[in-house]
Amino acid sequence: MKRYLVSLIVFFLFLAEAHSAKKIVVGVSEFKNLTGDEYYDRFCTGIGESITGDLANIRSIEVVERVQMINIIKKIPKFIDNLDNEETAVELGKMINANLMVIGSIQATEKEMLITARFVNVETGAVIGGEKVRGKKEEIFDLYNQIIFKLTGSLGIEVTPSEKKKIEKPETPKFNAYENLALAKRVNYYERDRKKALEKAKELAEKAIEIDPKYREAKKLREELIAELFWIKDKETWNPLPYLTFDFFPLVPGQVNAQYEINSKKKPQTNLSLLPVWKLKYREFIAPAFSFGGGVSFGNVGTFGFGLDIDLLYWLVNTRRTVFYSGLGFGFGTLSIEQNYASPNNQESGKATYNKAPVFTKIFTCFTWSLIPRKLFLNFELGYTPEQILQGDWIVKKKVKEDGEEKEKEQIIPKEWLEYEYMKLGGPYFGIAIGFRM
């Protein structure tokens, strides 16, 4: 038992020490192209991407996400003009909460590349180390590895054998595949027309995969680009979309009042009827494959009401002219629901209105078809809303004279005068809608 407790204490002390060990946060900037040849721009981005990816394999180092850094560099012109400047590196490092920045430049001849890297302490601004590596373009991963091991040596970080093995394994054995992927990332970051950037970067990533079908980094980038591209195309095709919708909710008569039949001398109908509700709705994308819809209901055919619908829609299938999605909805309103009534000897008869506003939730699936591409849409909805028993008070409005003035007052109809003791609203429903893109 004593040995068990000692082992447990040692284990927790080890965890506490591991947790308290502060990681070094490293940001790898874009490298500066000193060749004057735009071809080498791709490697200025590729260096940062590859070194960041390899450093992430070292447990004692935390790397800054490249997207976060690139977004800052693009917004502030002086960063782009001074990528290899220590003062700029310190300023950028503070903005991204890094302890250390890796900066540098590229030079090249017809036969080889020269990569110069420097490691800048963000707190002091001092250059704590650097490395110049020279070699053929085709040996670029070996050049990157030399920079990484020089950096870890300057920081006094011991790289474990397993970490070293991961770092030394090249992204791809095919240089042409890497060349295309580096350009794809460059285009993805810096092309201002977002749709154009996605399409071009996707094409380049696919070229990289064609050269090396096992290139994981290229496949990962392609999937990210496809997802964002679908999102942009969805917005172009389906968003924004105002539309007019008609929902038909089942309204089922309940138990027939025998007294009504005697009073009215009519046989009550017990058939299912559909309560049509029309709404003006508007749907807006808020995230890839996900949209939000809301609308105001103005009433049902023959009577008037008011309400609000909120729909959350998730897109499952999408093509150029059709989309299928599921969703959840919530609605409330003051829709008028009526039934017949008759007093004894049929001295008074008419329609009584249910005095409570139905509140309903719904789950549904929809199919939308573009009649005219990107302009006119037809929507079909199938869903379910929980049944509600309408058995409260039913009222009629009557005009009465009080103090010489005519006033409108509500009168509750006795339950035995009503055609039905109660009614059911809800169950499976369907809807149709027509929309247009502005």
Set out the domains of the chain in order of their start, with CATH numbers: 22-234 (3.40.50.10070), 240-436 (2.40.160)
Q: What is the pLDDT of residue 374?
A: 63
- Over residues 33-51, the mean pLDDT reads 92
Q: What is the pLDDT of residue 95?
A: 92
What rounded mean pLDDT belongs to the chain?
A: 83
DSSP 3-state assignment of 163?
helix
Q: What is the pLDDT of residue 18?
A: 41
Confidence band of 15 (pLDDT split at 50, 70, 90): very low
Is beta strand 303-318 parallel, antiparallel or unpaired with respect to 290-300?
antiparallel
Q: What is the pLDDT of residue 306?
A: 59
DSSP 176-200: HHHHHHHHHHHHHHH-SSHHHHHHH
Q: What is the pLDDT of residue 287?
A: 65
Q: What is the pLDDT of residue 14?
A: 40
Please, how many CA atoms are within 13 Å of residue 418, restricted to the half-sphere of its CB?
A: 24
- Over residues 375-397, the mean pLDDT reads 87
Percent of the chain with pLDDT over 70: 84
Render pLDDT for 274-327 as a digit per residue (tens, 0 to 9).
888 777 877 776 666 666 777 666 554 434 455 667 778 777 776 667 778 888
Burial of 318: CB neighbours in 10 Å, binned 0-12, 13-18, 19+: middle
15 token code pair: 């965890």
Beta-carbon contacts of 197 under 8 Å, excluding residues fewer than 6 positions away, are: 187, 188, 190, 191
Which range, 66-75, 129-138, 205-214, 299-308, is most confident?
A: 205-214
234 token code pair: 């969805």
Render pLDDT for 367-380 as a digit per residue (tens, 0 to 9).
888 777 667 888 89
DSSP 3-state assignment of 66?
helix
Q: What is the pLDDT of residue 428?
A: 94
The secondary element (H helix, E strand) that includes residue 162 is: helix 161-168
Q: What is the pLDDT of residue 202?
A: 94
Which range, 200-209, 238-247, 378-387, is most confident?
A: 200-209
Pick from 50, 31, 36: which is nearest to 179 by CA?
50
Q: What is the pLDDT of residue 435?
A: 82
Residue of higher predicted confidence among 96 and 356: 96
- Evaluate if residue 10 carries a pLDDT over 70: no
Residue of higher predicted confidence among 16 and 102: 102
pTM of the model: 0.58
Q: What is the pLDDT of residue 17?
A: 42
DSSP 3-state assignment of 47?
helix
CA 185, 188, 192, 193 dihedral sign is positive
Render pLDDT for 175-222 as a digit per residue (tens, 0 to 9).
999 999 999 999 999 988 988 999 999 999 999 999 999 999 999 999
- Evaluate if residue 32 carries a pLDDT over 50: yes
Please give the Cα distance from 64 to 69 (Å, whole number): 7
- Evaluate if residue 231 carries a pLDDT over 50: yes
Spatial strand order in the sheet of 394-402: 338-342, 349-354, 394-402, 405-412
Q: What is the pLDDT of residue 433?
A: 87
- Evaluate if residue 137 carries a pLDDT over 80: yes
Render pLDDT for 248-263 as a digit per residue (tens, 0 to 9).
889 888 888 989 989 9
State the first-to-last Cα distance of the chain, in angstroms, to the nearest integer: 75
- Evaluate if residue 403 carries a pLDDT over 50: yes
Alpha helices for 273-352 (secondary structure H) = none
Tokens 């509700």 found at: 277
Q: What is the pLDDT of residue 26?
A: 93
Q: What is the pLDDT of residue 11?
A: 42
Please give the Cα distance from 332 to 402 (Å, whole number): 35
Per this entry, what is the length of the chain?
438
Pick from 227, 244, 431: which is nearest to 318 by CA?
227
Q: What is the pLDDT of residue 207?
A: 96
Q: What is the pLDDT of residue 91?
A: 92
Tokens 């003062």 found at: 87
Pick from 291, 317, 309: which is nearest to 359 by CA?
309
Confidence band of 20 (pLDDT split at 50, 70, 90): very low
Render pLDDT for 99-122 as a digit per residue (tens, 0 to 9).
999 999 999 988 899 999 999 999
Asked if 62 contacts 135 with a C-beta cutoff of 8 angstroms, the reply is no
Q: What is the pLDDT of residue 134?
A: 92
Q: What is the pLDDT of residue 27?
A: 92
206 token code pair: 């696919």
Q: What is the pLDDT of residue 320?
A: 63
- Evaluate if residue 266 carries a pLDDT over 80: yes
Q: What is the pLDDT of residue 312?
A: 81
Pick from 364, 283, 380: which is nearest to 322 by CA?
380
